[in-house]
């Protein structure tokens, strides 16, 4: 009887563990098969893959793949890839097609994408995707993407869903942005070096959860020139108690 009870208890423990959401890193790499003199065009993708709680993990994995697919995309038509191996093959295929059409052009393509779980609480998950790609031109493009998920459903959480009153939070963010970057309140937001569309302050496309607070992150070209780089504003959680819904 004791052995049977122990076996049943172990079975419940194993089932319970399988129901827990967990992540493992999956990596993919592909180089061009065409002859190259220096560094051959290459793409590397490293992403956190969710497992356990099938409905939630499936939703997270699909969203992460969709974003990576959007980042990797090159050409006139979106890639029809349905998995990472097909996706990296499509990227290299785009290079090889272009190289075949223009054999005398120097085309030093590369892409590097790395995703990590950077924040997780009982209610929200933040996956950060760092990416760099070069497909010709004066320089490549480096950026970061923030993916926020509701851990109860696995669905994406939008910026507007983070706050009780998004408009009020935007007012707070602009006030702190002006203070950090020394923009007088009686002048337009673009009075110094910034390039907000319509000369109106806007929240960034990417907001990250950190241990200290919410990080408002503007990628290159979003509100400033490439040379000015990225722009960041950290707002401590203590100042967000009356604004933030999810932490």
Nearest CA-CA partner of 87 in 100, 74, 97: 74
List the domain boundaries for the chain: 20-150, 159-240
Q: What are phi and psi of 205, to 5 degrees?
A: -70, -25
Q: Per-residue pLDDT tens for 41-93?
A: 999 999 999 999 999 999 999 999 999 999 998 877 789 999 999 999 999 99
pLDDT digits (tens, 9 = 90+) for 175-207: 999 999 999 999 999 999 999 999 999 999 999
pTM of the model: 0.88
Topology classification of domain 20-150 = Heat Shock Protein 90 (3.30.565)
Q: Using CA atoms, how far apart are residues 162 and 247, in angstroms rounded to an integer?
A: 9
Which overall architecture, per CATH, does domain 159-240 show?
Answer: Alpha-Beta Complex (3.90)
Helix (H) or strand (E) holding 206: strand 206-209
């Amino acid at each position: 009887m004791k052995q049977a009870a122990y076996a049943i208890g172990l079975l419940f423990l194993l089932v319970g563990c399988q129901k827990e959401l967990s992540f493992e890193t999956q990596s993919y790499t592909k180089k061009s098969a065409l002859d190259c003199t220096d560094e051959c065009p290459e793409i590397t993708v490293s992403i956190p893959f969710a497992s356990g709680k099938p409905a939630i993990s499936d939703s997270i994995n699909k969203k992460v793949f969709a974003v990576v697919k959007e980042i990797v995309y090159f050409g006139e038509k979106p890639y029809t890839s349905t998995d990472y191996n097909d996706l990296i093959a499509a990227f290299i295929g785009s290079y090889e097609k272009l190289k075949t059409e223009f054999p005398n052009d120097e085309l030093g393509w590369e892409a590097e994408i790395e995703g990590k779980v950077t924040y997780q609480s009982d209610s929200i998950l933040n996956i950060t995707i760092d990416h760099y790609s070069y497909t010709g031109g004066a320089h490549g493009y480096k950026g970061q993407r923030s993916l926020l998920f509701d851990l109860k459903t696995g669905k994406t959480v939008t910026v507007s869903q983070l706050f009780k009153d998004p408009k009020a939070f935007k007012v707070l963010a602009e006030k702190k942005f002006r203070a950090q970057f020394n923009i007088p309140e009686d002048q337009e937001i673009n009075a110094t070096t910034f390039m907000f569309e319509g000369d109106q302050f806007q929240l960034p496309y990417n907001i990250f959860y950190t241990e200290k607070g919410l990080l408002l992150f503007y990628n290159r070209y979003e509100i400033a020139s490439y040379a000015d780089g990225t722009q960041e504003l950290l707002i401590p959680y203590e100042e967000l108690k009356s604004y933030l819904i999810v932490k």
